[in-house]
Amino acid sequence: MSEETVAVRALDGEEYLESLRDGRQVYFGGERVKDVANHPAFRNAARSIARLYDALHDPEMEEVLMKVDRWGIATHRFFAPAYSAQDLLEAKEAIAAWQRLSYGWMGRTPDYKASFMATLAADPEYYAPFGENARRWYREYASRVLFLNHVIVDPPVDRNRPHHEVRDVYVHVVKETGGGIYVTGAKQVATQSALTHASFVAANSGTAARFEEGKDEDFALVFLARMETPGQILFCRPSFELKAESPFDQPLSSRFDENDAVLVFDNAFIPWEDVLAYRDVQRAKQFYAASGFFNRFNFQATIRMAIKLDFMCGLLLKGLESNGTDGFRGVQVAAGELITLRNLFWALASAMALDPEPSLGGSVVPKLEYAAAARVYTNFSWDRVRQIFESLLGGSPIVTVSSYRDLMNPDLRPIIDRYLRGTGIPAEERIKLFKLVWDAVYSEFAGRHGLYELNYAGNNEQKYLDAFHWAHERGLADGFKALVDQCMSEYDLDGWKVPHWTWNRLGQ
């Protein structure tokens, strides 16, 4: 694509919805979806994303969300590389402003993949000999504020075998031509992919760690595939949005369901201009951390989780007030734990912005150690959130009605109003509140969120293994041990070896 064809402004909501009508191969319920923007399994989620795009053009939000980068491109603040702590602080506010529009319930919004795509501009030649591809993709991506999905995990099959022995499943190059490459294989989990503009395809740290030089070059790829790419097929999971009967009964799942999919390449053609790494085992192993992607995606995820915890704190407090238990000491203790957890994530997000480290091309990214900590604690904190809700609210979320229709029945309404009221609030308001609690904590939508929060940043062991290995690679482990060595060097069998302390020998 030439520079003349690159749009010079960010998409608005209507343009975004129209951009989804490109012939993509999305399958749901045994049929190919002709128009994802209007299909009942996706249409409200699509409009939740369209709302983000409209916000880019809202005079009241534009200053927080938008900036002009070093190349004169007007884009979302997190879509551009950061060159100072101030840049990261401003990006933090832009991410938070977008995330508040979905109350933290949509994690794979367009700013998620900005975690990586912004790094393309900082040092395109890091991707040599595909540096011009990186530069071109950044210009198109940033100027239009495109929405990319992200697939870096192999399907959970034959993981006990060497990578190159699973060519029937894992993504690999099958043919090279003058115009590009043909790839075949599957990746997961393509969250929100049906509503995106392109797929970013690579290997995560756990997968890349298994690559062997001389054997796995066909799998060592980093590329982008536009959603209309022939041979790119999405198989979607069931839609919680489709099952939602009304916003009163399913207020979150009816509009914020990020459908997950398995993405399959069936001899799909990828032009050379969309390739960033080709048959390069070392680059595939390094890009996850070296590119700055890891540091930045955990920055976005931490802010999103902080917004989600703001929401959950409010939801818990309102539930306790409705039950009349908000004044109990033990209840306040547990609610205080949730508030403290919320405070922790906001503090971590601020530290990630204010204490960055150098990255490609003179840019800065959140410090890797902070990002690794955020990766772990954002993942398992959600289980504790659910435990607090379950222990404090008990069976209250069950005490509702089957449907909004019960409240519209004139024979039932007086009985409901009397017996299902809350403390200081009428029955309709109490039921509305606890249906929101149910959708957030107990519904099928909520169950998927529990799985998402635990696994989206990597498998349980890999999170800790990465932190362990990076501590050794970056000299932190040596520093830890040196501190202990220093402590032990100050004494021996004869007593203190430094003059600061005295020693009373036994019997003296």
Boundaries of every domain in the chain: 293-473
- H helix or E strand, kind and range, residue 409: none
Per-residue confidence (pLDDT) for residue 1, from 0 to 100: 35
- Amino acid present at 187: K
Q: Among candidates 433, 350, 346, which has minimal Cα distance to 393?
A: 433
Look at residues 229, 90, 220, 88 and name the one whose alpha carbon lies nearest to residue 149. 229
Q: What is the pLDDT of residue 6?
A: 45
- Whether the per-residue pLDDT at 243 is higher than 90: the answer is yes
Q: Is 191:142 a contact under the CB 8 Å cutoff?
A: no
What is the rounded distance in angstroms from the CA atom of residue 462 to the CA atom of residue 477?
Answer: 18
Strand partners, 27: 32, 235
For residue 252, give Cα distances in angstroms to 95, 133, 248, 363: 20, 39, 9, 37
The answer to whether 376 is annotated as binding is no
151 is annotated as contributing to ligand binding: yes
Residue 98, classed as helix, strand or coil, is helix
Per-residue model confidence (pLDDT) at position 301: 96
CATH code linked to domain 293-473 = 1.20.140.10
pLDDT above 60 for 508: no
Mean pLDDT of the residues in the chain: 94
CA 212 to chain centre: 29
Q: How confident is the model at residue 421 (pLDDT cuts 50, 70, 90)?
A: very high
484-495 average pLDDT score: 94
184 is an annotated ligand-binding site residue: no
Q: What are residue 359's phi and psi, to 5 degrees?
A: -140, -160
At residue 270, does pLDDT exceed 50? yes
- Look at residue 4 and tell me whether its pLDDT is greater than 50: no
- Report, in angstroms and rounded to the nearest whole number, the Rg of the chain calculated over CA atoms: 26
Over 70: is that where the pLDDT of 94 sits?
yes
Question: For residue 286, what pLDDT is reported?
Answer: 81
Of 325, 321, 328, 322, nearest to 420 by C-alpha is 322
Please tell me whether 152 is known to bind a ligand: yes
346 near 306, Cβ under 8 Å? Answer: yes
User: Is residue 375 exposed (0-12), middle (13-18) or buried (19+ Cβ within 10 Å)?
Assistant: buried
Task: Tell me how far apart the alpha carbons of residues 221 and 198 are, in angstroms, rounded to a whole number.
Answer: 16
Name the least confident of 120-129, 218-227, 401-410, 451-460: 451-460
Triad 108, 8, 230: Cα angle to 5°: 55
- Tell if the pTM clears 0.75, that is, is over it: yes
- Mean pLDDT for the stretch of residues 298-305: 97
Beta bridge partners of 181: 176, 270
Residue with tokens 């209309």: 228
Whether residue 504 is predicted with pLDDT greater than 70 in this model: the reply is: no
pLDDT at 435: 98
Q: So what's the pLDDT on residue 5?
A: 40
* Residue 361 pLDDT exceeds 50: yes
Torsion angle defined by CA atoms of residues 466, 472, 476 and 482, in that order, rounded to the nearest 10 degrees: 140
Give the number of other CB atoms < 10 A from CB of residue 9.
Answer: 14
Whether 189 has a pLDDT exceeding 70, the answer reads yes
User: How confident is residue 288, by pLDDT bands cut at 50, 70 and 90?
Assistant: confident
